[in-house]
């Protein structure tokens, strides 16, 4: 019987848990908003504000691995995505066995108390949380206001002409968790010293006190701080001028225009920021995320989800130690955090739940025993296989809290200084300064092109056996570089080939034994490429600079070989493509596998794209395969193509060491792989813009129909010429027709005039008629919201004034649904075309 009871106990608790969860989700038919003396709030009950917007009760975080943890908190009552705005017992969760005995009530001294009551009715149990007001107070009650503020009030008796009620004895707005909602003050009281500090939560399922805090601190202004170790990583000076700037920012977004109203107050008693909502039915919250960013979210009724409006700092890697120790943060990747080489996540479950404070740990312990005081034992031997080595990590910010070694005046001595101490985990030698670190490494952030442009190199200490493969690759790389110099001398290629030191492997086509797919650029022989393409017999396409042929390497690796024509233009395009696409890698940029340069022969070898170029799928007039056309693209594929091309251009413009302007974005230069993922190709016209410059003066280039107006005027161009071309391509992807081709109606061309589709697009967008703009071959099977988004982006991209066009980074955010755009104005050029067309049609 005893064994049976023990085995039944877990089942019993699970039953109770499921029952409580079920009861918790049921809306109460007649919920009160107040708790008076003598009343209690139990686990299966809740208070609801009189407007129904907020609820106070017991909750359990969704999908929590700690199945028995419960909390008392306030949440949005009408929103299907459970979102808390305040938690009472953040660091003292209620266990499941305690839950059925836990009550919220007014205590004898007038405080609001959350406590566990034992079976003796008169006895007091342990206090979990309390408002903790000193001094006994007679007659108090708790009220959940319509703003989501929990108030402890003095009960007022009925009397005529009575003075206004006194201020609350206590309110949850003065003790925020990780969220600030409309009507709540964020700041401090100069008389009482009350500081409304906001502290992030630990993870998605743990509302406990997390790693970051934000507060308003007098002359220091708003400060964002890592709590352990303490480190201020962002601050903004308090100033009344900040409010107009915030209002301007919020007014730019239609989701917050006129909805979010910020204000700043500074008087002898208080200094604080506050924001209100002009629409009581709208929902929003400002939170300190567990990653260390301040984020403003607004609820979208149409999308039934929270929409991120604003984040500060803008670079998600800026918060100190946001990825934990021994990690690398890359703000342009998703997820942003990754372990350093030879390290693994300390707790994969915590990472999945958003808590990365534990960071990463070594896969193999260091050979040097930590804490050794014997310098001879802790020094490194160059011959022992068990000694530690240092591995470089390039283009990163150096970690927090370095120690400077004064007498190490070169990198070798700097490394020796670190190697001689077992606790030294990394060193860096930059600008004649030797810096070393002991223990954990924090805030090693990769140059992501957002706010981080560091070119520093960090040398991290690793166990020797972890670096055996790396050492072999290093020797192979050195040999490849030697052969590369020989190739350069032989074929007389100028200095741009020095960029090819990024080679890591070679295939058998130039003396190696691989198929060229290992990631390095390969130098091919002309005879090998002629053999691979069956003497250039299977043409895939042709362009202004040459033709492209299908080829096969090692009987399995399919490639596309571009043979450039014309000595002068061919050489120019050859250099442009190798010096651009040859040194960058992105999932939405075509991969350059190798090249051939023998005599006057110039060939480029690319990965083969199974579904060819985008134009073959957009501009056919019959079903798939008819007339040589490709398959009709469904809406999902089209939207993914749009998003992929935008991400590729954003990478070229904003994330490379130098900004790369493609200069010839069009459907013919967008290739599709087997799953219709897009890759931007043909960098023969590309130009580079240094990060210290915003424009570049170059020769006229591009394709009619996709040229930005500034090309015609001959001024120096910016990346906005690619933005213009991208806008034109967007319209073609949406409509399935050329922007400048004669309009077709009923299968016959309308010969009255040539219809310029961008005119129709912007007019249809402003009139709310999108259905007529979408490719009719889709037969109405498309997402109206996405079509509107594409059309808005396209019409902003083709604005005549380049300053009105969005940057590609903004375009990506809009297409991802993270940013909204207003209706674009009609460009003057399009308006002129419309006027001319109207005049022509009336004659």
How many angstroms separate the CA atoms of 204 and 511, rounded?
A: 53
DSSP result, 145-192: -TTS-EEEEEPPPP-TTPPPPPPPSEEGGGS--SEE-TT--EEEETTT
**Residue 717 DSSP one-character state:** B
How many angstroms separate the CA atoms of 632 and 647, rounded?
A: 23
Pairing of strands 40-41, 102-106: antiparallel
Three-class SS state of 127: strand
**Residue 514 DSSP one-character state:** B
Q: Is 38 in contact with 48 (CB distance < 8 Å)?
A: no
Q: What's the Cα-to-Cα distance from 702 to each of 76, 104, 391, 681, 711, rounded to whole Å?
A: 53, 71, 44, 14, 9
- The candidate with the shortest Cα–Cα distance to 610, out of 559, 669, 555, is 559
- Retrieve residue 17's tokens: 């848990």
CA 297, 303, 305, 311 torsion-angle sign? negative
CB neighbours of residue 88 within 10 Å: 22
Q: Is 290 in contact with 354 (CB distance < 8 Å)?
A: yes
How many angstroms separate the CA atoms of 550 and 541, rounded?
A: 9
- Retrieve residue 837's tokens: 């067309």
How many angstroms separate the CA atoms of 756 and 565, rounded?
A: 34
How many angstroms separate the CA atoms of 250 and 796, rounded?
A: 19
- The candidate with the shortest Cα–Cα distance to 509, out of 488, 489, 526, is 526
Q: Is 578 in contact with 603 (CB distance < 8 Å)?
A: no
How many angstroms separate the CA atoms of 391 and 412, rounded?
A: 14
Catalytic sites, residue numbers: 664
539 is in an annotated binding site: no
Q: Is 216 in contact with 270 (CB distance < 8 Å)?
A: no
How many angstroms separate the CA atoms of 571 and 602, rounded?
A: 7
* Sequence-ordered list of residues with C-beta below 8 angstroms from that of 634, at least 6 positions apart, any chain: 778, 781
Pairing of strands 424-430, 433-438: antiparallel
Measured in residues, the chain has a length of 843
- The candidate with the shortest Cα–Cα distance to 331, out of 315, 352, 313, is 315
* Sequence-ordered list of residues with C-beta below 8 angstroms from that of 231, at least 6 positions apart, any chain: 225, 320, 321, 400
Helix H segments across 326-389?
348-352, 375-378
**Residue 765 DSSP one-character state:** H
Q: Which residue ranges are tagged as binding site for ATP?
A: 562
């Amino acid at each position: 019987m005893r064994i049976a009871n023990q085995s039944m106990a877990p089942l019993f608790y699970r039953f109770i848990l499921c029952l409580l969860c079920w009861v918790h989700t049921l809306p109460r038919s007649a919920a009160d908003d107040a708790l008076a003396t003598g009343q209690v709030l139990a686990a299966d009950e809740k208070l609801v504000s009189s407007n129904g917007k907020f609820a106070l009760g017991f909750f359990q975080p969704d999908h929590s691995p700690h199945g028995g943890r419960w909390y008392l908190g306030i949440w949005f009552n009408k929103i299907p995505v459970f979102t808390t705005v305040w938690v009472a017992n953040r660091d003292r969760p209620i266990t499941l066995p305690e839950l059925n005995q836990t009550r919220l009530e007014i205590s004898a001294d007038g405080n609001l108390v959350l406590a566990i009551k034992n079976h003796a009715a008169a006895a007091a149990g342990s206090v979990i949380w309390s408002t903790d007001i000193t001094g006994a107070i007679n007659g108090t009650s708790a009220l959940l206001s319509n703003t989501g503020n929990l108030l402890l009030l003095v009960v007022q008796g009925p009397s005529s002409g009575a003075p206004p009620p006194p201020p609350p004895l206590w309110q949850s707005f003065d003790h925020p968790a990780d969220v600030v909602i409309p009507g709540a003050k964020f700041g401090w009281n100069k008389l009482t010293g009350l500081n409304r500090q906001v502290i992030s939560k630990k993870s998605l399922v743990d509302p406990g006190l997390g790693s970051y805090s934000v507060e308003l601190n007098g002359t220091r202004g708003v400060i964002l701080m890592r709590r352990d170790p303490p480190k201020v990583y962002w601050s903004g000076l308090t100033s009344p001028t900040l409010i107009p700037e915030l209002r301007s920012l919020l007014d730019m977004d239609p989701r917050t225009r006129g909805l979010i109203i910020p204000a700043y107050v500074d008087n002898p008693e208080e200094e604080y920021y506050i924001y209100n909502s002009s629409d009581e039915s709208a929902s929003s919250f400002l939170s300190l995320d567990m990653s260390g960013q301040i984020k403003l979210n607004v609820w979208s009724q149409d999308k039934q989800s929270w929409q991120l409006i604003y984040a500060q700092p803008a670079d998600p890697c800026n918060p100190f130690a946001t990825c934990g120790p021994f990690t690398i943060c890359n703000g342009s990747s998703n997820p942003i955090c990754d372990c350093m080489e030879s390290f693994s996540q300390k707790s994969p479950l915590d990472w999945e739940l958003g808590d990365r404070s534990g960071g990463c740990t070594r896969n193999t312990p260091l050979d040097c025993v930590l804490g050794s005081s014997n310098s001879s034992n802790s020094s490194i031997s160059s011959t022992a296989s068990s000694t530690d080595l240092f591995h470089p990590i390039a283009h990163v910010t150096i970690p927090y809290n370095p120690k400077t070694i004064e007498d190490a005046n070169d990198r070798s001595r700097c490394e020796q200084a670190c190697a001689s101490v077992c606790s030294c985990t990394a060193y860096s030698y930059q600008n004649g300064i030797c810096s070393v670190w002991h223990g954990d490494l924090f805030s090693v952030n990769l140059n992501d092109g957002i706010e981080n442009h560091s070119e520093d190199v960090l040398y991290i200490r690793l166990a020797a056996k972890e670096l055996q493969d790396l050492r072999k690759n290093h020797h192979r790389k050195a040999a490849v570089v030697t052969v590369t110099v020989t190739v350069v001398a032989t074929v007389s290629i100028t200095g741009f080939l020095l960029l090819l030191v990024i080679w890591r492997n070679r295939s058998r086509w130039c003396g190696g034994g691989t198929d060229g797919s290992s990631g390095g650029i390969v130098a091919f022989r002309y005879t090998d490429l002629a053999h691979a393409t069956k003497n250039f017999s299977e043409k895939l396409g042709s362009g202004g600079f040459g033709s492209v042929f299908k080829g096969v390497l090692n009987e399995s690796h399919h490639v596309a070989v571009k043979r450039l024509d014309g000595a002068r233009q061919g050489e120019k395009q050859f250099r442009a493509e190798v010096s651009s696409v040859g040194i960058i890698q992105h999932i939405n940029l075509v991969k350059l596998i190798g090249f051939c340069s023998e005599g006057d022969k110039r060939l480029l070898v690319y990965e083969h794209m199974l579904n060819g170029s985008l134009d073959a799928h957009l501009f056919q007039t019959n079903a798939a395969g008819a007339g040589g056309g490709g398959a009709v693209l469904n809406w999902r594929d089209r939207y993914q193509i749009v998003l992929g091309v935008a991400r590729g251009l954003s990478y070229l413009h904003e994330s490379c060491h130098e900004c790369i302007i493609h200069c010839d974005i069009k459907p013919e230069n967008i290739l599709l792989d087997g799953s219709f993922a897009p890759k931007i190709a043909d960098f023969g016209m590309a130009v580079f813009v240094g990060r210290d410059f915003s424009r570049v003066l170059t020769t006229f280039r591009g394709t009619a129909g996709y040229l930005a107006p500034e090309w015609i005027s001959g001024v120096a161009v910016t990346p906005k010429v690619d933005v213009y071309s991208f806008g034109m391509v967007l319209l073609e992807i949406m409509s399935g027709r050329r922007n400048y081709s004669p309009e077709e109606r009923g299968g016959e061309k309308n010969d009255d005039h040539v219809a310029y589709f961008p005119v129709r697009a912007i007019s249809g967008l402003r009139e709310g008629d999108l259905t007529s703009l979408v490719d009719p071959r889709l037969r109405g099977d498309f997402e109206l919201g996405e079509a509107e988004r594409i059309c808005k982006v396209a019409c902003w991209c083709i604005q005549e004034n380049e300053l009105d066009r969005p940057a590609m980074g903004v375009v990506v955010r809009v297409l991802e649904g993270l940013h909204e755009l207003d209706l674009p104005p009609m460009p003057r050029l399009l308006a002129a075309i419309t006027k001319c067309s109207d005049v022509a049609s009336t004659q």
